[in-house]
Amino acid sequence: MRAHRVAAIGIAAAAGAAFMGAHRFGQAAANIRRYSMPNAGTYDLVTRLVFGRRYDEIALTIAAEAPDGGTVVDLGCGPGEVLLRVAALAPSLDLTGVDLDAEMIERAKRKADRRLAPADARRVRFVAADASALPLPDESVDLVVSSYAVHHLPDRHAARAEIMRVLKPGGRALIWDIVSPHGEPDPAAGHGSPPAGNSAPVGHQVPGQHGLSALAILRMWLRFGRIPADRYELRKPAI
């Protein structure tokens, strides 16, 4: 009986795959290169299941360490899960989530509308933008945070310079990741500079250009599941 069930599932999967067609397979492959999942919804579901407790810990830390009434920017916010948890914990904070991927940002906006009261939703905004060209004024942010996003950046030095630009004097950045925001991109993880001939300036993220191999994706997920992300802190000197 079990063998028949397995066979039926296999046949159904094959039929579904054929129905999807080559175009949708190509789209899924492009999305996997972008953020290691077929689409933003799958990424959101899987990361909440795998890292939900860790997201709670990070959100509690941000809520506790952000200055009361301060401005917080989540760099590489993805579908907004950490920032929405912070919004529920710290009603006084002005929160902005930034991510390169427009699909992630649209999902974060829908989640905010669904999970937050109208008054709380007004304190949270999500913006599609590059980590090396943040749409924020100089010295306008009290705290920059980032969780599991730095390893995607082609040029961490450029992103760090942009973080320091937007931070107020005495402001801080708290970064959780398996790589350091201070070092060069990790070639073994497939996060090098954009290929020659790409029109994007050096240091800018390019949608669909992460170039993660299957082995690199497996390595990333195994590391996330096995060890806690390190916490890194950057501080802008006070005047």
Instruction: Give the structural domain span for 94.
Output: 2-235
Quote the CA–CA distance of 84 and 229 in Å, as a whole number: 20
Quote the CA–CA distance of 25 and 164 in Å, as a whole number: 40
Q: How many domains does the chain have?
A: 1
What pLDDT shows up at residue 181? Answer: 75
User: At 174, phi and psi to the nearest 5?
Assistant: -115, 120
Domain of 183, CATH number, reads 3.40.50.150
Q: What share of the chain is helix, strand, coil (3-state, %, to 5)?
A: 50, 15, 35
- Length of the chain in residues, anyone? 239
Cα distances from 238 to residues 129, 146, 210, in angstroms, run: 27, 22, 36
Cα distances from 154 to residues 185, 186, 205, in angstroms, run: 6, 9, 6
User: Are 79 and 54 in contact, with CB atoms under 8 Å apart?
Assistant: no
* pLDDT digit string (tens) for the chain, length 239 residues: 555 544 444 444 443 433 334 333 344 344 334 445 568 878 788 878 877 888 999 999 999 999 999 999 999 999 999 999 999 999 999 999 999 999 999 999 999 999 988 877 788 999 999 988 999 999 999 999 999 888 778 788 889 999 999 999 999 999 998 777 775 544 443 333 332 222 222 233 334 333 445 565 555 555 555 445 688 999 999 97
- This prediction has a pTM of 0.69
What pLDDT shows up at residue 51? Answer: 79
